[in-house]
Structure 1
Amino acid sequence: MLVTVVIGSGIAAEQLSPGNTGLQLLQNSTATVLGLAVLILVFGPASGAHFNPVVTTVDWWFGRRTGGLPLPHVGLYAIAQILGAIAGAVLANLMYDLAAVDISGHDRATAPVLLAEVVATAGLIVLIFALARTGRASLSAAAVGAYIGAAYWFTSSTSFANPAVTIGRIFSDTFAGIAPASVAPFIAAQIVGALIGAALVVALYPDVEAAAENVVVPHEETTFAEIKTAV
Structure 2
Amino acid sequence: MVKIFIDPGHGGTDPGAVGNGLQEKNLTLQIATRIKDILVAEYNNVTIKMSRTGDTFPSLNDRTDQANAWGADFFLSVHINSGGGTGYEDFIYTSTGQAAKTYQDNIHAAIMKLVDFKDRGQKTGNLHVLRESSMPALLTESGFIDSATDSAKLKTATFIESLARGHVNGIVKSFSLTKKSTAVYHTVVNGDTVYALSRTYGSTANQIKDWNGLDADYTIKVGQTLRVK
Measured against the shorter chain, the TM-score band is under 0.3
TM-score, with length taken from structure 2: 0.26
TM-score, with length taken from structure 1: 0.26
Between structure 1 and structure 2, the one with the greater Rg is: 2
Higher relative CO (Cα under 8 Å, sequence separation at least 6) belongs to 1
Answer 1 or 2: which has greater helix percent: 1
